[in-house]
Homo-oligomer: A and B are copies of this chain.
Protein backbone atom coordinates (compact mmCIF):
# COMPACT_ATOMS: atom_id res chain seq x y z
CA UNK A 1 0.00 0.00 0.00
CA UNK A 2 1.25 3.46 -0.87
CA UNK A 3 2.32 5.28 2.23
CA UNK A 4 1.66 8.75 3.42
CA UNK A 5 3.70 11.59 2.09
CA UNK A 6 4.29 14.05 4.92
CA UNK A 7 5.29 13.80 8.55
CA UNK A 8 2.66 14.25 11.26
CA UNK A 9 4.27 17.54 12.22
CA UNK A 10 4.09 18.75 8.63
CA UNK A 11 0.41 17.90 8.53
CA UNK A 12 -0.22 19.77 11.75
CA UNK A 13 1.67 22.72 10.31
CA UNK A 14 -0.75 22.72 7.40
CA UNK A 15 -3.61 23.36 9.78
CA UNK A 16 -2.07 26.76 10.51
CA UNK A 17 -0.64 27.40 7.07
CA UNK A 18 -3.91 26.82 5.25
CA UNK A 19 -6.09 28.46 7.87
CA UNK A 20 -8.96 30.65 6.72
CA UNK A 21 -9.64 31.92 10.23
CA UNK A 22 -10.38 35.61 10.02
CA UNK A 23 -10.50 35.59 6.22
CA UNK A 24 -14.17 36.54 6.27
CA UNK A 25 -14.14 38.32 9.60
CA UNK A 26 -13.74 37.07 13.12
CA UNK A 27 -17.47 36.33 13.55
CA UNK A 28 -17.79 34.36 10.34
CA UNK A 29 -19.44 30.93 10.64
CA UNK A 30 -19.82 30.07 6.95
CA UNK A 31 -16.22 29.41 5.99
CA UNK A 32 -15.54 28.55 2.36
CA UNK A 33 -19.26 28.82 1.55
CA UNK A 34 -18.32 32.48 1.26
CA UNK A 35 -16.71 31.60 -2.08
CA UNK A 36 -20.20 31.02 -3.51
CA UNK A 37 -22.18 34.07 -4.54
CA UNK A 38 -25.02 34.99 -6.85
CA UNK A 39 -22.64 35.35 -9.79
CA UNK A 40 -21.24 31.88 -9.21
CA UNK A 41 -24.74 30.42 -9.03
CA UNK A 42 -25.86 32.25 -12.15
CA UNK A 43 -22.87 30.84 -14.05
CA UNK A 44 -23.58 27.38 -12.66
CA UNK A 45 -27.14 27.66 -13.92
CA UNK A 46 -25.79 27.71 -17.44
CA UNK A 47 -24.39 24.24 -16.87
CA UNK A 48 -27.93 22.86 -17.09
CA UNK A 49 -28.06 21.63 -20.66
CA UNK A 50 -29.76 18.27 -21.13
CA UNK A 51 -31.92 18.58 -18.02
CA UNK A 52 -30.88 15.20 -16.67
CA UNK A 53 -30.75 14.99 -12.90
CA UNK A 54 -29.24 12.37 -10.63
CA UNK A 55 -29.18 11.92 -6.89
CA UNK A 56 -25.90 11.68 -5.02
CA UNK A 57 -27.41 10.03 -1.96
CA UNK A 58 -27.78 6.60 -0.42
CA UNK A 59 -31.22 5.67 0.88
CA UNK A 60 -31.60 6.25 4.62
CA UNK A 61 -29.85 3.33 6.30
CA UNK A 62 -32.54 1.47 8.18
CA UNK A 63 -30.82 -1.94 8.11
CA UNK A 64 -28.01 -2.85 10.52
CA UNK A 65 -24.61 -3.66 9.01
CA UNK A 66 -20.86 -3.52 9.62
CA UNK A 67 -20.84 0.17 8.70
CA UNK A 68 -24.22 0.79 10.28
CA UNK A 69 -24.21 -0.23 13.95
CA UNK A 70 -26.96 2.21 14.91
CA UNK A 71 -29.47 2.04 12.05
CA UNK A 72 -32.00 4.72 11.25
CA UNK A 73 -35.27 3.93 13.04
CA UNK A 74 -38.26 4.04 10.69
CA UNK A 75 -41.71 3.29 12.11
CA UNK A 76 -45.29 3.84 11.10
CA UNK A 77 -47.58 6.20 12.97
CA UNK A 78 -50.50 4.90 10.90
CA UNK A 79 -50.73 1.97 8.51
CA UNK A 80 -53.31 1.54 5.80
CA UNK A 81 -55.31 -1.29 7.29
CA UNK A 82 -56.90 0.73 10.14
CA UNK A 83 -56.56 4.12 8.48
CA UNK A 84 -60.35 4.26 8.10
CA UNK A 85 -60.59 4.60 11.89
CA UNK A 86 -59.05 8.08 11.60
CA UNK A 87 -61.71 10.69 12.22
CA UNK A 88 -60.46 13.35 9.89
CA UNK A 89 -59.31 11.51 6.81
CA UNK A 90 -57.90 8.04 6.25
CA UNK A 91 -54.15 8.47 5.98
CA UNK A 92 -50.83 6.77 6.53
CA UNK A 93 -47.90 8.31 8.34
CA UNK A 94 -44.48 7.57 9.64
CA UNK A 95 -41.60 8.62 11.90
CA UNK A 96 -37.85 8.30 11.71
CA UNK A 97 -34.96 8.83 14.08
CA UNK A 98 -31.43 9.36 12.88
CA UNK A 99 -27.96 10.29 14.10
CA UNK A 100 -26.73 11.79 10.79
CA UNK A 101 -23.01 11.21 11.30
CA UNK A 102 -23.45 7.53 10.51
CA UNK A 103 -21.10 5.86 8.04
CA UNK A 104 -23.99 4.62 5.92
CA UNK A 105 -25.77 7.99 5.88
CA UNK A 106 -25.17 10.59 3.18
CA UNK A 107 -24.77 13.72 5.23
CA UNK A 108 -23.12 17.11 5.45
CA UNK A 109 -20.85 17.90 8.38
CA UNK A 110 -21.25 21.34 9.92
CA UNK A 111 -18.09 23.29 10.70
CA UNK A 112 -18.75 22.72 14.42
CA UNK A 113 -18.47 18.94 13.98
CA UNK A 114 -14.74 18.56 14.53
CA UNK A 115 -12.27 20.20 16.92
CA UNK A 116 -8.54 20.72 16.85
CA UNK A 117 -6.85 21.77 20.08
CA UNK A 118 -10.24 22.59 21.52
CA UNK A 119 -11.37 24.87 18.69
CA UNK A 120 -13.62 24.69 15.66
CA UNK A 121 -13.35 26.82 12.49
CA UNK A 122 -12.53 30.45 13.07
CA UNK A 123 -11.33 29.79 16.58
CA UNK A 124 -14.66 29.28 18.27
CA UNK A 125 -14.36 27.11 21.35
CA UNK A 126 -15.52 23.51 21.37
CA UNK A 127 -17.68 24.39 24.37
CA UNK A 128 -19.90 26.40 22.05
CA UNK A 129 -21.46 23.04 21.29
CA UNK A 130 -23.46 22.39 24.42
CA UNK A 131 -26.42 20.30 25.58
CA UNK A 132 -28.80 22.15 23.28
CA UNK A 133 -26.62 22.24 20.22
CA UNK A 134 -24.09 24.44 18.54
CA UNK A 135 -24.14 28.15 19.19
CA UNK A 136 -21.51 28.70 16.49
CA UNK A 137 -20.96 27.16 13.06
CA UNK A 138 -24.14 25.08 13.17
CA UNK A 139 -25.46 23.37 10.08
CA UNK A 140 -28.13 25.96 9.53
CA UNK A 141 -25.59 28.34 8.02
CA UNK A 142 -26.60 26.31 4.93
CA UNK A 143 -30.29 27.09 5.34
CA UNK A 144 -30.52 28.72 1.91
CA UNK A 145 -28.98 25.68 0.30
CA UNK A 146 -25.66 24.97 -1.31
CA UNK A 147 -26.00 25.68 -5.03
CA UNK A 148 -22.92 25.99 -7.20
CA UNK A 149 -20.90 24.47 -9.96
CA UNK A 150 -20.24 20.84 -9.12
CA UNK A 151 -17.21 18.98 -10.42
CA UNK A 152 -16.67 15.23 -10.20
CA UNK A 153 -13.10 13.90 -10.19
CA UNK A 154 -13.40 10.16 -10.78
CA UNK A 155 -10.24 8.52 -9.41
CA UNK A 156 -11.17 4.87 -10.12
CA UNK A 157 -11.78 5.92 -13.74
CA UNK A 158 -8.27 7.32 -14.17
CA UNK A 159 -6.78 4.31 -12.42
CA UNK A 160 -8.86 2.07 -14.69
CA UNK A 161 -10.48 0.18 -11.81
CA UNK A 162 -14.06 -0.27 -10.66
CA UNK A 163 -13.24 1.10 -7.23
CA UNK A 164 -10.36 1.95 -4.95
CA UNK A 165 -9.72 -0.58 -2.20
CA UNK A 166 -10.05 0.26 1.48
CA UNK A 167 -6.89 2.10 2.49
CA UNK A 168 -6.03 3.24 -1.05
CA UNK A 169 -4.59 6.72 -1.03
CA UNK A 170 -5.28 9.71 -3.31
CA UNK A 171 -2.59 12.37 -3.89
CA UNK A 172 -2.55 15.83 -5.50
CA UNK A 173 -1.15 14.41 -8.72
CA UNK A 174 -4.22 12.18 -8.96
CA UNK A 175 -6.45 15.22 -8.75
CA UNK A 176 -4.41 16.92 -11.49
CA UNK A 177 -4.55 13.79 -13.61
CA UNK A 178 -8.31 13.55 -13.22
CA UNK A 179 -8.76 17.17 -14.25
CA UNK A 180 -6.65 16.50 -17.34
CA UNK A 181 -8.48 13.30 -18.20
CA UNK A 182 -11.92 14.82 -17.72
CA UNK A 183 -10.92 18.14 -19.37
CA UNK A 184 -12.22 20.07 -16.41
CA UNK A 185 -10.64 22.54 -14.00
CA UNK A 186 -11.72 22.99 -10.42
CA UNK A 187 -12.43 26.65 -9.69
CA UNK A 188 -13.16 28.96 -6.80
CA UNK A 189 -16.52 28.28 -5.20
CA UNK A 190 -16.92 24.82 -6.69
CA UNK A 191 -18.43 21.90 -4.89
CA UNK A 192 -15.71 19.31 -5.49
CA UNK A 193 -16.76 15.67 -5.47
CA UNK A 194 -13.93 13.15 -5.41
CA UNK A 195 -15.03 9.61 -6.25
CA UNK A 196 -13.27 6.64 -4.59
CA UNK A 197 -15.76 4.02 -5.78
CA UNK A 198 -16.67 3.11 -2.21
CA UNK A 199 -20.41 3.31 -2.94
CA UNK A 200 -19.91 0.95 -5.89
CA UNK A 201 -17.89 -1.55 -3.87
CA UNK A 202 -20.45 -1.33 -1.08
CA UNK A 203 -23.29 -2.36 -3.40
CA UNK A 204 -21.32 -5.30 -4.76
CA UNK A 205 -19.57 -6.57 -1.63
CA UNK A 206 -21.66 -5.16 1.20
CA UNK A 207 -20.71 -2.59 3.80
CA UNK A 208 -17.62 -2.99 5.98
CA UNK A 209 -16.31 -1.45 9.17
CA UNK A 210 -13.88 1.23 7.98
CA UNK A 211 -12.01 1.32 11.25
CA UNK A 212 -11.21 -2.38 10.95
CA UNK A 213 -10.69 -2.63 7.19
CA UNK A 214 -9.92 0.88 6.08
CA UNK A 215 -11.47 3.33 3.65
CA UNK A 216 -10.09 4.81 0.41
CA UNK A 217 -9.52 8.54 0.45
CA UNK A 218 -7.32 11.60 0.35
CA UNK A 219 -3.84 11.75 1.76
CA UNK A 220 -3.40 14.87 3.89
CA UNK A 221 -1.00 16.21 1.25
CA UNK A 222 -4.09 17.08 -0.81
CA UNK A 223 -5.03 19.82 1.62
CA UNK A 224 -2.94 22.56 -0.04
CA UNK A 225 -4.49 21.67 -3.42
CA UNK A 226 -7.99 22.21 -1.97
CA UNK A 227 -6.86 25.49 -0.47
CA UNK A 228 -5.32 26.85 -3.67
CA UNK A 229 -8.40 26.03 -5.73
CA UNK A 230 -10.62 27.76 -3.16
CA UNK A 231 -13.02 24.84 -3.11
CA UNK A 232 -16.26 25.74 -1.29
CA UNK A 233 -17.44 22.25 -0.27
CA UNK A 234 -15.81 18.81 -0.55
CA UNK A 235 -17.85 15.66 -1.09
CA UNK A 236 -16.95 11.99 -0.99
CA UNK A 237 -18.60 8.63 -1.49
CA UNK A 238 -16.50 7.66 1.50
CA UNK A 239 -15.33 10.09 4.21
CA UNK A 240 -12.78 12.12 2.22
CA UNK A 241 -9.99 11.00 4.57
CA UNK A 242 -8.11 7.81 3.77
CA UNK A 243 -8.36 5.35 6.66
CA UNK A 244 -5.99 4.61 8.21
CA UNK A 245 -4.58 8.09 7.76
CA UNK A 246 -0.94 7.08 7.87
CA UNK A 247 -0.21 9.90 10.29
CA UNK A 248 0.39 8.89 13.87
CA UNK A 249 -1.84 10.84 16.22
CA UNK A 250 -3.97 12.20 13.37
CA UNK A 251 -6.86 9.86 12.61
CA UNK A 252 -8.70 12.14 10.15
CA UNK A 253 -6.39 14.99 9.08
CA UNK A 254 -8.47 15.92 6.04
CA UNK A 255 -11.50 16.41 8.30
CA UNK A 256 -9.43 18.71 10.47
CA UNK A 257 -7.84 20.56 7.55
CA UNK A 258 -11.14 21.16 5.81
CA UNK A 259 -13.71 21.65 8.57
CA UNK A 260 -11.50 23.34 11.16
CA UNK A 261 -8.71 25.10 9.28
CA UNK A 262 -10.23 26.06 5.95
CA UNK A 263 -13.93 26.10 6.85
CA UNK A 264 -14.79 23.72 4.04
CA UNK A 265 -17.98 21.74 4.74
CA UNK A 266 -17.79 18.01 4.01
CA UNK A 267 -20.32 15.65 2.45
CA UNK A 268 -19.73 12.05 3.57
CA UNK A 269 -21.04 8.70 2.28
CA UNK A 270 -22.53 9.96 -0.94
CA UNK A 271 -23.43 7.64 -3.81
CA UNK A 272 -21.47 8.63 -6.90
CA UNK A 273 -22.45 5.72 -9.11
CA UNK A 274 -25.13 7.51 -11.10
CA UNK A 275 -23.28 10.80 -11.42
CA UNK A 276 -20.08 9.12 -12.60
CA UNK A 277 -22.02 7.14 -15.21
CA UNK A 278 -23.74 10.31 -16.41
CA UNK A 279 -20.46 12.23 -16.59
CA UNK A 280 -18.97 9.42 -18.64
CA UNK A 281 -22.00 9.26 -20.93
CA UNK A 282 -22.15 13.01 -21.56
CA UNK A 283 -18.40 13.54 -21.63
CA UNK A 284 -18.79 16.29 -19.00
CA UNK A 285 -17.62 16.45 -15.43
CA UNK A 286 -19.29 19.70 -14.42
CA UNK A 287 -22.96 20.31 -13.57
CA UNK A 288 -25.23 22.36 -11.36
CA UNK A 289 -24.90 21.03 -7.83
CA UNK A 290 -27.98 21.62 -5.68
CA UNK A 291 -28.25 20.54 -2.05
CA UNK A 292 -30.46 21.79 0.75
CA UNK A 293 -29.70 20.45 4.22
CA UNK A 294 -32.66 20.42 6.61
CA UNK A 295 -32.70 23.57 8.69
CA UNK A 296 -31.69 21.94 11.96
CA UNK A 297 -30.89 24.96 14.09
CA UNK A 298 -27.86 24.37 16.30
CA UNK A 299 -27.23 21.09 14.51
CA UNK A 300 -23.88 19.48 13.78
CA UNK A 301 -25.00 17.77 10.56
CA UNK A 302 -27.93 17.02 8.31
CA UNK A 303 -28.78 13.99 6.19
CA UNK A 304 -28.87 15.21 2.59
CA UNK A 305 -29.89 14.17 -0.91
CA UNK A 306 -27.69 16.32 -3.16
CA UNK A 307 -28.55 16.58 -6.83
CA UNK A 308 -26.41 16.92 -9.93
CA UNK A 309 -28.33 18.63 -12.74
CA UNK A 310 -26.76 18.35 -16.20
Contact = CB atoms under 8 A, between A and B. Distances in A.
Contact of A79 (B49, B52, B130): B130
A127 to B, nearest CB: 5
Contact of A127 (B58, B62, B81): B81
Contact of A42 (B50, B79, B305): B50
Contact of A82 (B70, B94, B131, B309): B131
B294 A292 contact: no
Interface stretch (A16-24, A179-187, A190-198, A251-259): A251-259
Interface stretch (A138-146, A159-167, A220-228): A138-146
Interface string A117-140: 010100001111111111000001
Given A73-B70, A125-B80, A300-B93, A147 B113 contact: no
A288 to B, nearest CB: 7
A41 B51 contact: yes
Nearest to A57: B295
A55 to B, nearest CB: 5
Interface in A83-133: 83-85, 88-101, 112-116, 118, 120, 125-133
A229 interface: no
Number of identical monomers bound together in the oligomeric complex: 4
Nearest to A59: B295
Contacts of A39: 51
Contacts of A217: none
A246 interface: no
A158 interface: no
Interface residues of A, number: 100
A32 interface: no
A299 interface: yes
Contacts of A93: 99, 101, 113, 300-301
A125 B97 CA distance: 27
Contacts of A298: 74
Given A57-B294, A76-B130, 20 more contacts: A39-B51, A41-B309, A48-B48, A57-B143, A57-B295, A59-B296, A59-B297, A60-B296, A64-B64, A74-B299, A78-B131, A79-B79, A80-B120, A90-B116, A92-B126, A94-B100, A94-B301, A96-B100, A97-B97, A147-B290
Interface of A: 37-46, 48-55, 57-60, 62, 64, 69-71, 73-85, 88-101, 112-116, 118, 120, 125-134, 140, 143-145, 147, 211, 251-252, 255-256, 288, 290-301, 303-307, 309
12 contacts: A60-B294, A64-B69, A76-B129, A80-B125, A82-B132, A84-B115, A88-B252, A90-B116, A91-B114, A93-B301, A290-B290, A294-B303
